[in-house]
Structure 1
Amino acid sequence: MNNGLLSIARSALVAHQTALQTIAQNVANAETPGYSRQEAVLAPNTPLRMPYGNVGTGVNVSTVVRKRDLLLDESFRNANGQAGDAGMRRDLMQELEAVFGEPSDAGMSNALDQFWNAWSDLSAQPSSLAARAVVQQRGRQLGQLFNGYDTQLTTLRTSTLERLGNTVERISALATQVADLNVRIVGAESSGNSANDLRDLRDLKLDELSKLAGARALQQPDGSVSVLIGNSLLVDGATAVSVSLQLETPNPLPATPLTDLPVRIQLGNPPDRLFPLAGELKALATVVNSEIPGVRTRLDAMASQLVSAVNTAHSGGFTFTGSAIPGVAAGNFFDPGTLAVPVSAATLKLHSTIIADPSKIAASGNASAPTDNTVAQALSALRTAENTVSFTTPTGATETGSFVGFFRGLVTRVGLQTASANDEATVATTLTDQADLRRQAVSGVSTDEELVKMLRAQQSFQAAAKMIKVAEEMLDTLVNLV
């Protein structure tokens, strides 16, 4: 009987020592990212069957479980993917909005006003070389502003493409790591034990994948997970599929080179297009394929039609050398471009003749009247002329307006999209935080709760130690009786 009592007490000491070690592990990792609270599950030992009934034989730790709710994980990852998309889109749209810096004294609206004002001043002094020099300067500034916008858009596209490439590489790396963890977890759990720390590490990778690509995890009976992004399988057991980035060259090739070649995200070898996109991957691809090209094509349309309108009016005028009459037919004010290199925001500039000699700027529309100002007035009137810019969107919708109105519409469109992205990011972040709080309520470590459990386990351990002392005293008594 004493041996049985000692055995029961010993099992209690070992079991509660394991419980205390588990509690200590929880407290030590209370701030460790991705750590899931663990719990030592106690179970009675198999009892002995005696003539007078079953007699208990003590306690053991049946397993150390990891506190995790798969449904809460799935809810968090869904929200995390949406937050990744909205947050990245907000950041990129803010960078796109910053290209224009409107409203500003150095922006396009002010530059256009100054350009039209210069023509108005020239119409008041059609013979003034100084007024022509101002027109030349304002035209040069306008061209440089268009060029600067295009350069900034190219810089933003380059940096966004780089981030997209890094994201694609990170997704592939995470997929490989998850596949490797699948192998290790299946191997570690083949003996019936739970690989808690490895599962925590894998869940941390899955959380990151959900933010980057909206990944979804499917639990398998053997302990591995399959990972889906879009409608494609990224990880299946020990196999991971690579993700790649490819520029799409149009077929047939356009007459003029495309500045903004679209990109496609590919999966596997041979590669298949990844669809639908989610997470940060979606935001990056959308800005590269849609938002930046949309802004650039509108700027190009505005630049091309500005050059066309100004050149048409200016080439109908005449310039004069001294008092010589008749005047000489004026040429183009802006460089008209070529078929191979048409006018765009990137190429808009003054005509070489105007750059070399501002006296070649026409104000008169009458070859016999040097003081005539009809051309200057016509160009000044372009300030308020409606429907001078027309743009057709990829969906077939038509956007029209004056030069200033069209540009303000472009800036307003980008601003509204940025505000919308900011609102969506705020909502998505809030939903993600709430989902994480619900998840942490199950898997997170509360040091207060762990300290209470520690006291209970400690008391049980001390009681088991006292039981051993009692058993020893009983054994001594029996020995003395003999």
Structure 2
Amino acid sequence: MVSSFHGLELGKRGLSVGQASIATTGQNIANVNTKGYSRQQVNSSASPSLDVWTGQGANTGQLGTGVNLDSITRVRDRFLDQQFRDHSETLGQWQAKQTTLDRLETIVNEPSDSGLNSAMDLLNSAWQDLANEPDSLSAQAVVKERAQSFIEVAQSMNKSLDSLKSELTQESQATAEEANGYLKQIAELNKSIVRDGSQSNDLKDKRDVLVEELSTLMSIKVDEKSNGSYSISLSSNNQQLVSGEEVFEVDHKTGTGENKVYGGKLAGLSESIDIAKSYQDNLENVVGDFAAANSMSATGGKDQALFIGNAADFNLYEVKVNYEASLLKQPAATEKTSEAAQSDFRKLVSQLGAQSQAAIHSVTNHGATLQATENRRQSVTGVSLDEEMANLIKYQHSYNAAARLVSMTDQMLDTIINRMGN
């Protein structure tokens, strides 16, 4: 025999699930613009039924007892999350390289009327004027001034390249520290999630935001344990970074390509340092070849060498103009060898332009891929106001119907308890 109060219990459970559904929908609506928020949903199931005697002899029937509130969970797609992290890592690497190449283009400053190529052209033109008037003191002075301008432009570029490498090294160190900060915060959230339970939705959202920020800095793999904590490792060599509450910090490395194992922005910065160093070496070779083509000796004095410098062990910061030279004369092979040096410089400029364009295209393409992945992910985990408003109406009707069931059961009980004896 079913209890007379069965209807009240059934209605109460319906009210409980309806109320939770309405509250969860309100939470979704309130956080529609919150960064990193994952849409939440109420998971319910039919509660265990009761066995009741029926008119089928020894066989019993089953009478439903309502609904159980099982959980309130986030809606996430782990596959899309990992795709997003992978694309984010690649984009972070290319963005670091593109920024460096943009700065290199600013330093090289070509084509320009004040760049190195223009300074070389002006010196060649000064030599031609001196060839027309070999005994002209003013023509010799112009050659020296043009040579000084060439050296100043080259040394200024070299100094800017030194500053760029130093800044990239500092940025790489700061990025490693930033990554370690994210790792520590993730470990702390792991601790809180394990303590509060695996359904700590808001804490998990905060943790996922940190993981996505970390994925820009390095290439990572994420494994969620049964207790809700994350285990994070490097994609390249499976080096452990976070295991529960334990953190394994990354060490910044300044050697050539040393940060490649980390991937992401860290690898991009390491490659950027190598790129800057390569262009600095090429620049020094061009300046050394051009200076040697225009006559250079290790000592000054009144000989005919225009530049003072060591051709065998050339140092751009040490080369200078020989202002004591009184009988300057253009070397016989200057025109041919100078043109070769200028040609090398133009190749360097063209290579830089091509690399910069390639980096821009890569950033654009990977950015579009990342955005497409994010759009697919938002279609799953994002909050749609139209959908939530429809759900709100549905849950409201469900709640009202459960309330009506309780009211009707109350009237039935009132009849049985208070009126049947009259």
| TM-score of the pair, normalised by structure 1 | 0.80
Q: Is residue 280 of structure 2 the alignment partner of residue 296 of structure 1?
A: yes
Quick one: percent identity of the two aligned structures?
Answer: 28
8 A Cα contact 1:146 1:346, kept in partner:
no
Q: Distance in 1 between matches of 2:393 and 2:334?
A: 84
Deviations 1:385-428 (A, max 9, x none): 15x6xxxxxxxxxxxx7121111111111111111111111111
Name the structure with the higher helix share: 2
Secondary structure (helix, strand or coil) at the match of 2:108 reads coil
Residues 299, 344 of structure 1: 8 Å contact kept: no
> For residues 28-427 of structure 1, what are the structure 2 equivalents within 5 Å?
28-52=30-54, 53-189=61-197, 193-229=198-234, 230-231=236-237, 232-248=239-255, 262=256, 264-265=258-259, 275-288=260-273, 290-311=274-295, 330-337=303-310, 342-351=313-322, 354=323, 357=324, 360-363=325-328, 375-376=329-330, 378=331, 382-383=334-335, 385-386=336-337, 402-427=340-365
Task: Write the distance in 2 (CA, Å) between the matches of 1:82 and 1:338.
Answer: 42
Structure 2: tracts of 5 or more residues without a match: 55-60
Name the CA distance, whole Å, in 1 between partners of 2:366 and 2:286: 36
> Match for 1:382: what amino acid?
T
Q: CA separation of 1:21/1:361 partners in 2, compared to 1, >3 Å: closer, same or farther?
A: farther
RMSD of the TM alignment (CA)? 2.3
Q: TM-score, normalised by structure 2?
A: 0.91
How many residue pairs match? The answer is 410
Does the Cα contact within 8 Å between 2:24 and 2:41 map onto a contact in 1? yes
Per-residue Cα deviation, 1:81-132 (whole angstroms, up to 9, x for no partner): 1111112211111111111111110011111010010011011111111111
Deviation at 1:337, TM superposition (A): 4.4
Give distance in 2, aligned partners of 1:409 and 1:81.
32
- The letter of the residue matching 1:299 is L
The answer to whether the Cα contact below 8 Å between 1:45 and 1:58 also exists between their aligned partners in 2 is yes
Tell me the alpha carbon deviations over residues 320-339 of structure 1, each in whole angstroms, 9 at most, x when there is no partner.
Answer: xxxxxxxx962532121498
2:14 aligns to what? 12
Instruction: Give the conservation status (yes or no) of the 8 Å contact 1:150–1:296.
Output: yes
* Contact 2:297–2:307 (Cα < 8 Å) also in 1: no
Question: 4+ residue stretches of structure 1 with deviation over 6 A?
Answer: none
- Alpha-carbon distance in 1 for matches of 2:127, 2:311: 26
Inter-partner Cα distance in structure 1 for 2:148 and 2:303: 18
Measured in 2, the distance between the counterparts of 1:313 and 1:67 equals 74
Q: Which residue of 2 aligns with 1:393?
A: none
Residue 480 in 1 paired to residue 399 in 2? no
Query: What letter matches 2:318 in structure 1?
Result: T
